[in-house]
């Protein structure tokens, strides 16, 4: 029996003044699919009219009417009588400072902003959005500790001609509440005294959601890390005499000891390699917090795409756990391209294996080509050296590079170990040995120092990092202090010691503005005559991460208009960042810094000052920055300013 193909029913829309038929159909999307897939009928036509009414009401046409007509077996005609469209205009917030009022006004409008469409540049006004927007404001004020805040719609003004609705919102924040001594309810009296000690540091602090969540997490971690994986911990609150009183209910349940951890899902990976990472938990009280942290470390290697822990009781107070792992694709060939104002066009090709020989070792080899040179390298990393928490890396590299005034060829080996103590402190130890050959390219040979030499070196770096993100920080601070000792062994050998202190502080002023302060101080002390120290071991200043009125490495003493570097340098940076919408930011900055040829002359060196403006696009890899720095202290031969294009944070 032959089958007959059914023609698709066409839905036509007429009567719209504010937008076209095609745009309305695009807004409807696939919602008309069931109408189109059958012959035209009364029920299908009524469904189409209903869906169109819903979409247009969402666009602000509160009084819209849609009539339908079945033109033929394969066509439905929808006739629209729009009525007036209401759009959200100005939102004024009273009762708070002006900067806070602007932020709250944007927050109120958030439900409608996401529904902008082809109809109008202004978002639609809908009655249902009023309470949603007001609730956003109440929640935001609660999060800041204003738990008694009142938020009311004080007035609305409708422009009959344009359909624009302007709103006035009255905010009464009240007093910012403080955390009072919590009430604790538990079947176990010992729990009450332990929780009281845990929450004591939080008593008296502002009752922000950040502080309250930290306090609750402190309590949860205390018990789930000491053998109580099924503990029931709930927190509510009461408001008494202007204070926020947390109320905890805690039922610990049975305390259990971990007998064995089994591992499943390993195909390529050696079983003992993973078992070694979790074996120390066996025989101890079940520590859910520590085990979860260790599993996150396993995932961070990139060798696995997912991981989960499953518990199963054995007998009495003993349990077993099973770690279910799913291996990721370990081998990868990649090609990447980029550009910046110093290196020009950059092309990198690489091969990576995140699970070499099934031992969760990382192998990365590749070449990087830029307008300044070629880098080839092979790197082998071990996240758990000898099964410990210490990470290690070995690297072989060869570099042909053109700097300002000279060229260099360098090949060498490096080995690095990294210890991480807690969540904020890291210690790195790097040892290296390289062979270097320098040649003149504009600078006199006498300015290059030793030109053919070997360089043994040892560097110890301490890092304190309290930022909310290392890639896109908005609050917190970090400090880094590298100390390096080494030698340039050539015709005339020179030993040196190099130390620096660098870091940054970030503070979010409000929803739109962020402040950042950073700096870098470096000192290089050579043995003997510093003139013999190779130029590529000296310190340089200027560029996209220092004083931005100068090109990269061009601040300081020069010969033939090429920088010669120095033995002491500092720079400091201040940035005011404003959000322009989404991930786009504007920045105004002030930089200051100097560089001296000799470390004992740093105090008398001329300080360079710069101001500037820029744009930034925040991406997961970091901000893409386009910035211009203007030279406030321009001397003869110095640039008026410099344009920088770079990726990554300034400090």
34 pLDDT tier (thresholds 50, 70, 90): confident
If we measure between CA atoms, which residue out of 80, 84, 91 comes closest to residue 162? 84
Specify the range with the lowest mean pLDDT, choosing from 4-13, 219-228, 358-367, 631-640.
4-13
Query: What mean pLDDT do residues 295-306 have?
Result: 95
Q: Cβ distance 260 to 268 under 8 Å? A: no
Q: Are 10 and 78 in contact (CB under 8 A)?
A: no
pLDDT at residue number 24: 78
Q: Lowest-pLDDT range, 100-114, 338-352, 374-388, 543-557?
A: 100-114
Q: Are strands 243-251 and 304-315 parallel, antiparallel or unpaired?
A: unpaired
CB count within 10 Å of CB 128 equals 9
Matching residue, tokens 């720095």 = 629
Task: Say yes or no to pLDDT of 121 above 80.
Answer: no
Helix axes 271-278, 288-300, angle to 10 degrees: 140
Task: For residue 299, name the pLDDT band (cuts at 50, 70, 90).
Answer: very high
Q: Is the dihedral of CA 337, 343, 349, 351 positive or negative?
A: negative
Closest CA to 100 of 377, 565, 510, 602: 510
Output the pLDDT for position 448: 95
pLDDT given at position 163: 82
pTM confidence score: 0.75
Q: Which residues have a Cβ under 8 Å from the Cβ of 367 and sit 6 or more positions away?
A: 348, 349, 350, 374, 375, 376
Place of tokens 């938020």: 151
Token look-up 């200051």 returns 592
Separation of alpha carbons 225 and 411, rounded Å: 48
Backbone angles phi, psi at 403, to 5 degrees: -100, -175
Specify the pLDDT at position 240: 86
Report the pLDDT averaged over residues 322-339: 94
Q: Are 76 and 35 in contact (CB under 8 A)?
A: yes
Three-state SS across 458-469?
A: EEEEEEEECCCC
pLDDT score recorded for residue 201: 95
Rounded CA-CA distance 84/87 in Å is 10
User: Residue range 464-478: average pLDDT?
Assistant: 95
- Average pLDDT (476-495) is 95
Cα–Cα separations (whole angstroms), residue 386 to 359, 362, 392, 421, 640: 12, 15, 10, 17, 55
| 390 — pLDDT class (breaks 50, 70, 90) | very high
Mean pLDDT of 316-322: 93
Residues 252-271: what's their mean pLDDT? 95
β-pair type (391-402, 373-382): antiparallel
Long-range contacts of the stretch 191-195 (C-beta < 8 A, 24+)? 191/250, 191/252, 194/222, 195/219, 195/222, 195/248, 195/250
Tell me how far apart the 2 most distant CA atoms of the chain are, in Å: 101
Beta partners for residue 522, in sequence order: 500, 569
How many Å from the N-terminal Cα to the C-terminal Cα in the chain?
Answer: 75
Cβ burial of 6 (10 Å; 0-12, 13-18, 19+) is: exposed
pLDDT of residue 182: 94
* pLDDT over threshold 70, residue 191: yes
pLDDT at residue 315 above 90? no
Q: Is the pLDDT of residue 62 over 80?
A: no
Strand partners, 419: 427
- Pick from 591, 581, 609: which is nearest to 651 by CA? 591
**Alpha-carbon distances, residue 185 vs 190, 196, 250, 520 (angstroms):** 11, 11, 6, 52
pLDDT level of residue 127 (50, 70, 90 thresholds): confident
Cβ(312)–Cβ(319) under 8 Å? yes
Question: How does pLDDT run across 87-101, given as a tens digit for each residue?
Answer: 888 999 999 998 899
Minimum mean pLDDT range among 12-16, 182-186, 637-641 = 12-16
What's the CA gap between 305 and 326, in Å, rounded? 6
Residues paired with 546 in a beta bridge = none
| Coil, helix or strand at residue 290 | helix
**What angle, rounded to 10 degrees, do the helices at 42-58 and 21-28 form?**
90
Assess whether pLDDT exceeds 60 at residue 115.
no
Question: Which helix (H) or strand (E) segment is 57 a member of?
Answer: helix 42-58
Instruction: Check residue 118 and give its pLDDT.
Output: 47
Contact of 171 with 153, CB cutoff 8 Å: no
Q: Report the pLDDT averaged over residues 453-480.
A: 96
Check the CA dihedral 205-207-210-214 and report its sign.
Answer: positive
The answer to whether residue 4 scores a pLDDT higher than 70 is no
Distance of alpha carbon 109 from the chain centroid: 25
- Alpha-carbon distance of 567 to 460, in angstroms, equals 19
How far is the C-alpha of 592 from the C-alpha of 609, rounded, in Å? 5
User: Can you give the pLDDT at residue 120?
Assistant: 56
> What value does the mean pLDDT of the chain take?
91
Any idea which of 14-18, 188-192, 459-463, 591-595 has the lowest mean pLDDT?
Answer: 14-18
pLDDT > 90? residue 374: yes
Burial class of residue 534, CB neighbours in 10 A (0-12, 13-18, 19+): buried
DSSP string over 225-275: TTT-TT-EEEEEEEEETTEEEEEEEEE-----EEEEEEEE--SSS-HHHHH
* pLDDT one-digit tens code per residue, 128-157: 789 999 999 999 999 999 999 999 999 999
**pLDDT at residue 3, as a whole number:** 42
pLDDT of residue 36: 86
Residue 208: HSE in the Cβ half-sphere, 13 Å Cα cutoff? 7
Residue 183: pLDDT over 60? yes
Distances (CA, A) of 614 to 11, 155, 241, 511, 544: 50, 40, 49, 19, 11
The pLDDT > 70 percentage for the chain reads: 97
234 vs 21, higher pLDDT: 234
Residue 503 · residue 571 · CB < 8 Å: no
Q: What is the pLDDT of residue 529?
A: 75
The 10 Å Cβ neighbour count of residue 106 is 16
Place 30 in a pLDDT band, splitting at 50, 70 and 90: confident
Residues near 618 by beta carbon (within 8 Å), at least 6 away in sequence? 472, 583, 584, 585
User: What pLDDT does residue 592 have?
Assistant: 98
């Amino acid at each position: 029996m032959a089958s007959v193909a059914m023609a698709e029913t066409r839905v036509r829309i007429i009567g719209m003044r504010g937008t076209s038929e095609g745009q309305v159909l695009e807004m409807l999307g696939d919602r008309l699919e069931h109408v189109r897939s059958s012959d035209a009928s009364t029920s299908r036509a009524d469904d189409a009219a209903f869906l169109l009414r819903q979409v247009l009401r969402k666009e602000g046409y509160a009084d819209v009417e849609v009539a339908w007509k079945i033109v033929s077996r394969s066509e439905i005609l929808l006739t629209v009588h729009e009525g007036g469209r209401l759009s959200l205009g100005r939102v004024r917030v009273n009762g708070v400072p002006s900067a806070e009022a602007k932020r709250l006004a944007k927050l109120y409008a958030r439900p409608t902003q996401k529904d902008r469409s082809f109809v109008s540049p202004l978002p639609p006004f809908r009655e249902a959005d009023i309470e949603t927007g007001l609730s956003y404001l109440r929640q935001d004020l609660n999060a800041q500790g204003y738990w008694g805040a009142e938020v009311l719609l004080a007035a609305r003004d409708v422009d009959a001609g344009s359909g624009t609705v302007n709103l006035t919102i009255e905010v009464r924040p009240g007093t910012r509440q403080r955390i009072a001594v919590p009430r604790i309810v538990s079947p176990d009296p010992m729990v009450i005294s332990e929780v009281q000690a845990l929450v004591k540091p939080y008593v008296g602090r502002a009752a922000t959601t950040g502080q309250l969540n930290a306090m609750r997490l402190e309590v949860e971690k205390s018990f789930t890390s000491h053998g109580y994986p099924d503990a029931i911990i709930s927190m509510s609150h009461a408001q008494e005499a202007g204070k926020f009183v947390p109320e905890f209910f805690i039922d610990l349940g049975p305390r259990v000891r971990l007998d064995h951890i089994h591992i499943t899902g390993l195909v390529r990976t050696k079983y003992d390699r993973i078992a070694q990472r979790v074996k120390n938990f066996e025989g101890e009280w079940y520590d859910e917090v520590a085990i979860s942290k260790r599993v996150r470390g396993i995932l961070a290697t990139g060798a696995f795409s997912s991981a989960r822990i499953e518990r199963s009781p054995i007998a009495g107070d003993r349990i077993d756990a099973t770690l279910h792992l799913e291996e990721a694709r370990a081998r990868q060939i990649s090609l990447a391209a980029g550009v910046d104002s110093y290196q020009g066009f950059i092309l990198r090709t690489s091969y990576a294996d995140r699970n070499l020989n099934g031992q969760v070792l990382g192998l990365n080899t590749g070449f990087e080509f830029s307008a300044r040179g070629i880098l080839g390298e092979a790197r082998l990393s071990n996240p758990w050296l000898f099964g410990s928490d210490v990470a290690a890396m070995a690297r072989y590299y060869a570099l042909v590079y053109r700097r300002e005034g000279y060229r260099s060829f360098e090949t060498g080996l490096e080995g690095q170990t990294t210890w991480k103590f807690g969540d904020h402190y890291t210690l790195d130890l790097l040892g290296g040995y390289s062979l270097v050959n320098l040649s003149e390219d504009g600078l006199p040979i006498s300015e290059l120092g030793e030109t053919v030499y070997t360089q043994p070196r040892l560097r110890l770096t301490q890092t304190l990092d309290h930022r909310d993100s290392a890639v896109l920080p908005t609050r917190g601070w970090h400090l880094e202090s590298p100390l390096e000792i080494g030698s340039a062994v050539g015709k005339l050998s020179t030993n040196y010691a190099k130390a620096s202190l660098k870091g940054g502080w970030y503070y979010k002023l409000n929803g739109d503005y962020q402040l950042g302060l950073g700096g870098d101080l470096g000192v290089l002390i050579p043995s003997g005559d510093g003139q013999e120290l190779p130029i590529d071991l000296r310190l340089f200043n200027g560029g996209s991460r220092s004083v931005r009125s100068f090109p990269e490495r061009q601040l300081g003493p020069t010969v033939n208009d090429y920088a010669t570097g120095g033995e002491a340098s500092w720079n400091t940076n201040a940035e005011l960042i404003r959000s322009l919408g989404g991930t786009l930011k504007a920045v105004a900055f002030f930089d200051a810094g100097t560089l001296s040829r000799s470390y004992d002359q740093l105090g008398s060196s001329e300080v360079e000052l710069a101001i500037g403006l820029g744009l930034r696009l925040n991406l997961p890899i970091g901000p893409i920055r386009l910035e211009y720095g203007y030279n406030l202290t321009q001397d003869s031969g110095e640039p008026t300013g410099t344009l920088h294009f770079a990726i990554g944070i300034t400090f």
